[in-house]
Structure 1
Amino acid sequence: MADFQSSIIIERPVAEVFEYLITLENITDIMPNVVKLEKLTEGPIKKGTKLLETRNVRGRETKAEIEIIEYEPNRVYTTESVAGGITITYKYLFEAIEEGTQAQFEADVKIKGLFSFFSRRALVKILKQEDGYLLRYLKEEVEGKKEGTE
């Protein structure tokens, strides 16, 4: 079960929504605390691609290496970062529907260690505050592009 999740209908075709999400330059538009996302591996985005995320966390810049662990164009995109005993997995699911795209987001946090229960709850709360609205931002960006209102 996900630690937090969201779902939204985006009134644009799946291919357009998926492409917007995987275009690294767009991440700062839908994840405001992410300063930059860089590709570390060569070639197109696919399973196994590694990324370096620079994020502003409570006024401090932090970096995390992220790996794409699942990738099916226009259907699923899953990323995972592992650092210091903390594993964060973000899964995005897309489905074509009559209105456009049904997009779902699931976040899962795992922490190893003695105080994992308490620190996990705090980390989940922070991540939910920072990234819990990303599908809404994705919808606004993609639909705004449709209407020409960037």
Structure 2
Amino acid sequence: MVDVQTDIVINRPLAEVAAYAANPDNAPEWYENIKSAVWQTPKPVALGSQVAFKAAFLGRELAYTYEIIEYIAGQKLVMRTAEGPFPMETTYEWEAIDSSHTRMILRNAGKPSGFSKIFAPLMATMMRKANTKDLKRIKMILEKDKP
């Protein structure tokens, strides 16, 4: 099992951080490895929504579809894919520190199967590094126009 959790404090109100992060259209802007996000179901994000992503990770091109399995606006978003050799679940959680600071938690968990099992420890390390970079990027984007 690979289970990686990272977090960051963003100097923006919770509603703003959650709205931006929970919108799959924004994923290619703040996720370094995600190249595209295409809705498979009607917008906006809701329970059962599906979004197809194209990404690059560890030198490989990946295509997968996430389904939203839990969504509490402004609090939590959980999406899961069962495709490929590495089924994955991604969770975003947002906590207001005060009226203008939000803690965002990004968690990726999955159970590699087959050949992927061999690379699980490396994958966890690389995922932690990528998640940390992505959280720094979303922080930079959201704080860029801060008054």
User: Which category describes the TM-score, using the shorter chain as reference length?
Assistant: 0.7 to 0.9
SS of the residue 1:145 aligns to: coil
- Where in structure 1 are there 5+ consecutive unaligned residues? none
Conservation of the 8 A alpha-carbon contact between 1:5 and 1:132? no
Corresponding residue number in structure 1 for 2:74: 74
Conservation of the 8 A alpha-carbon contact between 1:2 and 1:106? no
CA offsets, 1:94-129, max 9 Å, x none?
11122521111111121234x564232233334334
Using the size of structure 2 for normalisation, the TM-score is 0.85
Aligned residues: percent identity? 26
Corresponding residue number in structure 1 for 2:28: 28
Corresponding residue number in structure 1 for 2:112: 111
Structure 1 residue 49 corresponds to structure 2 residue 44: no
Conservation of the 8 A alpha-carbon contact between 1:4 and 1:107? yes
Using the size of structure 1 for normalisation, the TM-score is 0.83
1:1-150 paired onto structure 2 within 5 Å:
3-98=3-98, 99-113=100-114, 117-147=117-147
The two structures, once aligned, show a CA RMSD in angstroms of 2.2
Conservation of the 8 A alpha-carbon contact between 2:90 and 2:106? yes
Letter in 2 for 1:111: P
CA offsets, 1:63-113, max 9 Å, x none?
111111111000001111222342211111111122521111111121234
Letter in 2 for 1:133: K
Distance 1:103 1:2, change over 3 A: farther
Q: Distance in 2 between matches of 1:117 and 1:59?
A: 17
SS of the residue 1:54 aligns to: strand
Q: Distance in 2 between matches of 1:38 and 1:31?
A: 15
* Deviation, structure 1 residue 59: 4.7
Q: Distance in 2 between matches of 1:136 and 1:51?
A: 23
Distance 1:85 1:59, change over 3 A: closer
Conservation of the 8 A alpha-carbon contact between 2:53 and 2:65? yes
Conservation of the 8 A alpha-carbon contact between 2:7 and 2:104? yes
